[in-house]
């Protein structure tokens, strides 16, 4: 049996399968480790269960690296696709990244990478241009599924750090979370406020785009192509000046 020696030998698809395992869904840690071994060694559970206990314990010890996270580094170029740089995100790209991250950023890692890794070309002046975001990222998942997880894992750690800093910088532009003490019952006004927050939150991105479009929906595509930081700096200015 050939076992992977490190995260370098684990594909993105295998990593996603590993992370989908729910520790609480197993009777014991040993049962979980057997399932993990099955995934990364590509061996049927039935075959593993027939092994001698000492042999099995030795194999599990050899894959102990899975208890740690992969390196936070990542490759800047994958085949014909180049990482566009986290600080160059457009509003539209950020909105889609938020959707896939909140849904499950491990499961959606290939899709997230499809948004961040793009084709490039030199224009007539010899300057590099990035492919416009005019494609369905789901159609490019296959590019990343069979890669070693170490080539792209750092993409998600970098984005999550960027997102955290971004939300703190522009927290005044996001609807605050409505909190109620669990021991207290909400009165009618509290319930109304909570429902209003849910209603606003449901359409938060649409509301931002609508604001930036000056209520002209025909400009929506243009707005979502604008740099994310530029859009939120502009919204901050409008908020401060009340214009």
Number of neighbours of residue 241 by Cβ within 10 angstroms: 7
Residues 149 and 12: beta-carbon distance below 8 Å: yes
- Confidence band for 178, pLDDT divided at 50, 70 and 90: very low
Using DSSP bridges, classify how beta strands 128-130 and 120-122 pair: parallel, antiparallel or unpaired: antiparallel
Read off the DSSP letter of residue 8. Answer: G
pTM, two decimals, is 0.83
Helix residue ranges per DSSP H, the chain: 12-20, 29-41, 45-49, 53-62, 91-104, 109-116, 142-145, 153-169, 188-202, 204-212, 220-224, 228-241
Residues 225 and 92: beta-carbon distance below 8 Å: yes
Q: Is the pLDDT of residue 120 over 50?
A: yes
* Mean pLDDT taken over the chain: 86
- Confidence band for 202, pLDDT divided at 50, 70 and 90: very low
- Confidence band for 180, pLDDT divided at 50, 70 and 90: very low
Q: Which of 33-42, 201-210, 215-224 has the lowest mean pLDDT?
A: 201-210
Q: Is the pLDDT of residue 100 over 90?
A: yes
Strand, helix or coil at 128? strand
- More confident call, 101 vs 180: 101
Q: Which helix (H) or strand (E) holds 171?
A: none
Q: Which of 29-38, 126-135, 155-164, 173-182 has the lowest mean pLDDT?
A: 173-182
- Confidence band for 187, pLDDT divided at 50, 70 and 90: low
b/e 103-138 (16+ beta carbons within 10 angstroms → b): eebeebbbbbbbbbbbeeeeeeeeeeeeeebeeebe
Percent of the chain with pLDDT over 90: 58
Q: What pLDDT, on the 0 to 100 scale, is given for residue 101?
A: 93
Domain segments of the chain as ranges: 7-67, 77-169, 172-241
- Confidence band for 175, pLDDT divided at 50, 70 and 90: low
- In the block, tokens 């994310």 appear at 228
Q: Is the pLDDT of residue 78 over 90?
A: yes
């Amino acid at each position: 049996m050939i076992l992977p020696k490190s995260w370098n030998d684990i594909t993105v698809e295998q990593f996603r399968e590993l992370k989908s395992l729910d520790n609480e869904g197993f009777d014991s840690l040993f049962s979980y480790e057997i399932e993990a071994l099955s995934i990364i060694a590509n061996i049927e559970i039935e075959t593993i269960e027939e092994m001698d206990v000492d042999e099995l314990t030795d194999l599990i010890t050899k894959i102990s690296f899975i208890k740690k996270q992969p390196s936070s580094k990542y490759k800047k170029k994958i085949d014909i696709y180049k990482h566009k740089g986290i600080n160059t995100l457009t509003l539209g790209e950020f909105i889609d990244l938020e959707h896939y991250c909140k849904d499950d950023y491990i499961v959606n890692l290939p899709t997230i990478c499809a948004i961040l890794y793009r084709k490039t070309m030199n224009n007539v002046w010899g300057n590099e241009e990035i492919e416009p975001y005019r494609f369905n990222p789901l159609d490019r998942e296959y590019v990343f599924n069979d890669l070693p997880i170490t080539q792209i894992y750092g993409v998600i750690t970098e984005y999550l750090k960027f997102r955290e800093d971004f939300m703190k910088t522009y927290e005044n532009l996001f609807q605050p979370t409505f909190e109620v003490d669990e021991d207290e019952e909400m009165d009618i006004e509290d319930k109304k406020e909570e429902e209003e927050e849910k209603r606003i939150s449901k359409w938060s991105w649409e509301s931002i785009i609508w604001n930036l479009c000056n209520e002209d929906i025909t400009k929506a595509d243009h707005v979502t192509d604008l740099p994310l930081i530029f859009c939120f700096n502009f919204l901050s200015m409008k908020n401060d000046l009340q214009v």
